[in-house]
Amino acid sequence: MSTKPLDEERTLSDRASLRLTQAIITGELRQGQKLCETDLATRYGISRGPLREALRHLEGIRLVQRIPHAGARVVKLDKAKMGEMYRVREALEGIACRLAAENMNDGEIRLLYELLDRHEQQITASDSTQYIQNESDFDFHYHIALGSRNQMLIDLLAHELYHLLRMCRYRTSRMAQRTRPALQQHRQIAEAIANRDGELAELLMRRHISGAWKSISELMDEEEQKP
């Protein structure tokens, strides 16, 4: 019996998942928005079977919530939830940095520096208005999580919580006042890892994330005060 139709549907579902994930992270699909399968299928040219599978996947990675009698909605990150996420993120990524300083090999550390050079080119190309790290291979934080060699941290930071964290980070990535400082902070973190100074690497990452939360918190307060 051929598995080709099943494999094709899985591939279509994977593509749908990637497309919907990006739409949620960038706000194309708004936080709290109700997700109508018919509308999504038409909007993104996705058939209903792969779409349903993609929505189940997004529910698993916490980007979509299924509410009894109300259907599926994009997760809504209010200020309280964002604050919880950033506190968890500060702790987990701080530990990941400490472990990365102990466990990353020289080739992986060189990759961090090369990655940051590519990030600087991106910032320059956007006239310092954006610092958006795309998924996985282009993501500084993702590589540090992998470099920790701690499977529980990897599961949380690179899988289970990864896309929620990307949602949080996307907002600060478009704040022009944070692009250059964020890149400089990343370079300092990479240098501490290269020097095998786990204590300093953890401290710098915690400060980096704490500063990002301060910026996003102030932005959310301003948005709430607008008429």
* Dihedral pair phi/psi, residue 97, rounded to 5°: -65, -45
pLDDT of residue 4: 41
Cα–Cα distance between 40 and 42 in angstroms, integer?
5
> Which of 45, 74, 103 is the C-terminal boundary of a domain?
74
Of residues 85, 193, 88, the one with CA closest to residue 147: 193
Mean pLDDT for 104-114 is 97
With bands split at pLDDT 50, 70 and 90, how would you rate the model's confidence at 127? confident
- Domain interval for residue 54: 6-74
> Which of 46, 74, 102 is the C-terminal boundary of a domain?
74
pTM flag (> 0.75) = yes
Whether the Cβ atoms of residue 117 and residue 105 lie closer than 8 Å to each other: no
Which secondary structure element, helix H or strand E, spans residue 71, and what is its range?
Answer: strand 71-74
Q: Are residues 200 and 102 in the same domain?
A: yes
- We report the CATH number of the domain holding residue 47 as 1.10.10.10
What are the tokens at 29? 């699909």
User: In the chain, how many domains are there?
Assistant: 2
Cα–Cα distance between 173 and 135 in angstroms, integer?
13
Between 100 and 3, where is the model more confident? 100
Q: Are residues 95 and 167 in the same domain?
A: yes
Cα–Cα distance between 154 and 162 in angstroms, integer?
9
